[in-house]
Homo-oligomer: A and B are copies of this chain.
């Protein structure tokens, strides 16, 4: 008998079956692979795993939009790198500044306000900004199959966490609504904050100093710090997630690792080994020998974004409805 899994956006196939088999094994009482509820922890990368990350990490696009919005208060930026390059969309000038230039831009847009003010700025941006290709709010670009997977796991008593290189306070503004993942289950990169009394009210002020960069080998570190227990399942899409999958699947007992492979240039974007954003090379090379599932967005997902359904219903000429697989 087929169990109703609620994962309608997944085509039947090896990838979906590997998920169903794993959940079946760890939730069957009396089975040698049974895992008690409190230990059913699953971690998900965000950019490229739960939502789109092209043509650039959305938080990077937020930085560019924010810099332009702040130019009236910072006229000096028009003649000063790396601000000039960022404002003029001069990617060559930007790349020339390397990581220090990017950090300077992030700090100029992410620090100096209270955490509550920052939350408001991000929410305003998410409500008004539009993706350059899809012409949609960025939060429309979450992957419907992954939203279904998150819900499926939670229905089987998994705790679902986000573990991302993205900014923790950036993601927390939309994670609950978009994914059903509350702020306390979001792990990410952070800058330092400082407790102060302003106008008689306590506030936390965001400072231009890195606290934690949650990527690569530091994803297992972040998991240990925030979650405090080794997860039994990990989901990612790039080599930045490699160590997270290695850490999770390197434990004893039943373990599950999965990589989302972006190879649908029509409905989304096609990229892997050569990409600057979301490069996937070692993961592809080693997935098979490590027993990790690789999801083909082209073949395993019959729908990528939730709005495709709505567009189809309304007869709109959506990019993706016409190429429904």
Q: Give me the interface of A with B, judged by CB distance under 8 Å.
A: 38, 41, 115, 159, 161, 168-169, 172, 176, 182-186, 190, 192-195, 201-202, 204, 211, 217-218, 220-221, 224-229, 243, 246-247, 250
Contact = CB atoms under 8 A, between A and B. Distances in A.
A250 B204 contact: no
B228 A226 contact: no
B184 A225 contact: no
B194 A221 contact: yes
B195 A243 contact: yes
Contacts of A192: 221
Nearest to A184: B227
Given A202-B250, A247-B202, A225 B195 contact: no
Contacts of A185: 184
A250 to B, nearest CB: 4
Given A204-B221, A246-B202, A228 B195 contact: no
B221 A38 contact: no
B195 A247 contact: yes
A161 B243 CA distance: 28
A253 to B, nearest CB: 14
A247 B41 CA distance: 30
A169 B243 contact: no
Nearest to A182: B38
Contacts of A226: 184, 226
B221 A168 contact: no
A38 B176 CA distance: 10
B228 A183 contact: yes
16 contacts: A38-B176, A115-B224, A159-B184, A161-B184, A184-B184, A184-B227, A186-B228, A193-B224, A194-B217, A195-B220, A195-B243, A202-B220, A202-B243, A202-B250, A211-B225, A226-B226
Contacts of A159: 184
A195 B169 contact: no
B183 A229 contact: yes
Contact of A190 (B183, B184, B225, B243): B225
Nearest to A243: B195
Nearest to A219: B195
A38 B180 CA distance: 11
Contacts of A228: 168-169, 172, 183-184, 186
A195 B183 contact: no
A250 B193 contact: no
Contacts of A193: 221, 224-225
A119 to B, nearest CB: 10
Contacts of A201: 250
